[in-house]
Amino acid sequence: MNLNEIKKSEVVLLDANVILYGVLLKSDQCVSLLRRCAERDVMGVVGLQQLAEVMHRLMMVEARENEWTSGANAVKTLSERPERVQALSRYSDAIRGLMAAGFRFESLLKEDFGSALSLQRQYGLLTNDALLIAIAERLRIQSVASADKTFSRVRGIVLYSPSDVLI
């Protein structure tokens, strides 16, 4: 199902890619979902590990837009120039905006790692995907918003995906 099919007041766990596509204006559906969460029309839950991933990726996007990094060693290049990291600001404004919006942020618990290991074995999920589903299971959230079709393999999860991603 696509993101526009999320019902009013539905509780949805957001994957980092949906947040990124919304913040970077790569998908009108993702932009709309972020707005609906901010307005509390949809109850958006974000794992702190997804927020960290968004923060890192937005930092790297901004550094690339400034032409401060390129290629496979972009992280290393930027880490060797702390003055450039200190000069970045758009990514931090975006993260502050997300933190102030109407999302519920959820930490990982120790028990989530044990659940994630089982989910990896059962569904072949990568670590961050398994941790996302572990949070969903712990909180009894059945709906996940992600562009990653991997989640369609997980029993009991309703996957909402953007159908308009402009990459």
The pLDDT tens digits for 49-80 are 999 999 999 999 999 888 888 777 888 888 88
Q: How high is the pLDDT of residue 66?
A: 87
- CATH of the domain spanning 3-160, picked from 3.40.640.10, 3.40.50.1010, 3.90.1150.10, 3.40.50.300: 3.40.50.1010
Give the pair of three-digit tokens for residue 117: 């290991």
Instruction: Report the pLDDT averaged over residues 9-22.
Output: 97
pLDDT digits (tens, 9 = 90+) for 111-143: 999 999 999 999 999 999 999 999 999 999 999
> To the nearest 10°, the Cα dihedral for 121, 122, 125, 127?
-50
Q: How high is the pLDDT of residue 121?
A: 97
Q: How high is the pLDDT of residue 167?
A: 65
Give the pair of three-digit tokens for residue 62: 């901004």
Residue 157 pLDDT > 80, yes or no? yes
Q: How high is the pLDDT of residue 125?
A: 97
Are the C-beta atoms of residues 14 and 45 closer than 8 Å to each other? yes
- Please report, rounded to a whole number, the percentage of residues in the chain having pLDDT higher than 90: 83
What is the overall mean pLDDT for the chain? 94
Q: How high is the pLDDT of residue 96?
A: 95
Distance CA 154, CA 92 (A): 33
pTM of the model: 0.92
- The greatest distance separating any two alpha carbons of the chain, rounded to the nearest whole angstrom, comes to 47
Q: How far is the CA of 128 from the CAs of 17, 64, 67, 113, in angstroms? A: 12, 24, 29, 10
- The CB-side HSE value for 48 (13 A sphere, CA atoms) comes to 5
Distance CA 44, CA 40 (A): 8
| Segments making up each domain of the chain, as ranges | 3-160
